[in-house]
Amino acid sequence: GENVEQHPSTLSVQEGDSAVIKCTYSDSASNYFPWYKQELGKRPQLIIDIRSNVGEKKDQRIAVTLNKTAKHFSLHITETQPEDSAVYFCAEEGYSSASKIIFGSGTRLSIRP
């Protein structure tokens, strides 16, 4: 069935260093891979997404890579800052007008000053 595995569950990095979060998915029909950031007590917010016809996408300090053959996708945050501390969720969505979002289990990212 549909499943998204996310690693690691917790990640602590020094401010200014890079953080990498990795996900794997099982549904070959998935075509859309969003990443959400959820701060404590707040709603999940889309920070970047990638579609299946693209291998990499970058937005300032955030980048996402996708390997459809291996069914892997990753989030890369460079030059981390204290405000990057949050829980990050990878997700996948199929190509359908009735698509549902399947979330990973989340990564709690902490930035050490």
Partner 1 sequence: DAGVTQSPTHLIKTRGQQVTLRCSPKSGHDTVSWYQQALGQGPQFIFQYYEEEERQRGNFPDRFSGHQFPNYSSELNVNALLLGDSALYLCASSTTGPLSEAFFGQGTRLTVV
Binding site for partner 1 (CB under 8 A): 6, 31-32, 34, 42-46, 49, 51, 89, 91, 93, 95-106
Q: Which residue has the tokens 């990640």?
A: 11
Q: To the nearest whole angstrom, how small is the minimum distance from the Cβ of residue 48 to partner 1?
A: 11
Cα separation values, 93 from 10, 53, 79, Å: 24, 14, 29
- As a whole number of angstroms, the distance between CA 35 and CA 48 comes to 6
Look at residue 84 and give its three-state secondary structure: helix
Nearer residue to partner 1 within complex by CB, 71 or 94 = 94
Nearer to partner 1, 100 or 112 (CB): 100
Residue 98 DSSP label? T
- The nearest distance, CB 2 to partner 1, in angstroms, is 9
Minimum distance, C-beta of residue 17 to partner 1, in the bound complex (Å): 25
Nearer to partner 1, 26 or 45 (CB): 45
Cβ proximity of 90 and 24 under 8 Å = no
